[in-house]
Amino acid sequence: MNFEVKLFAGAREIVGKDLVIVSLEAGATVADLRIALGQSIPALRETIEHVKFAVNHDYADDDTCLSPDSEIACIPPVSGG
C-alpha cells in the first residue's frame, strides 16, 4: 500500500522533493513509517529520528495507524518566530 508523505524545510532539502511515496503494509503505524523512511532514504536517517509526523494536520503518536487517504506530513523540529 502506498502512502504519500509531505516534506518540509531541512527534510525536503535533503531529499530534494516535497513529497515522497512510501510503501507500507496495511495497518502500518507512524513508527513503521519512520523506519521505512530511514531505510529507503539513507540521507534522512539521522533527521528522521528527530521529526514528528502529522496526520490530517494534527501531530500523531508513533502508534497512530495510517490510512492511504490520510494527509501525512513529516515535521522536522519547528523554528518559527
Partner 1 sequence: MPRLTFEPIDSACLLTEVQSARAGAVVLFLGTTREYTDGRRTVSLEYDCYRDMAQQKLEQLQAEACQKWSLVHCAIVHRLGDVDLGEVSVAVAVSAGHREAAFAAGKWLIDTIKEVVPIWKKENWHDGTSEWVHPGISE
> Where on the chain is the footprint of partner 1 (CB under 8 A)?
6, 8-10, 13, 46-47, 50, 54, 57-59, 71, 73, 75-81
Smallest distance from the beta carbon of 51 to partner 1, in angstroms?
Answer: 9
**CB nearer to partner 1: pick between 49 and 63:** 49
**CB nearer to partner 1: pick between 25 and 71:** 71
Smallest distance from the beta carbon of 42 to partner 1, in angstroms?
Answer: 16
Q: Which long-range contacts (CB under 8 A, 24 or more apart) does 26-31 make?
A: 26/1, 27/65, 28/1, 28/3, 28/65, 28/66, 29/62, 29/63, 29/64, 29/65, 29/66, 30/55, 30/60, 30/61, 30/62, 30/63, 30/64, 30/66, 31/62, 31/63
**CB nearer to partner 1: pick between 16 and 80:** 80
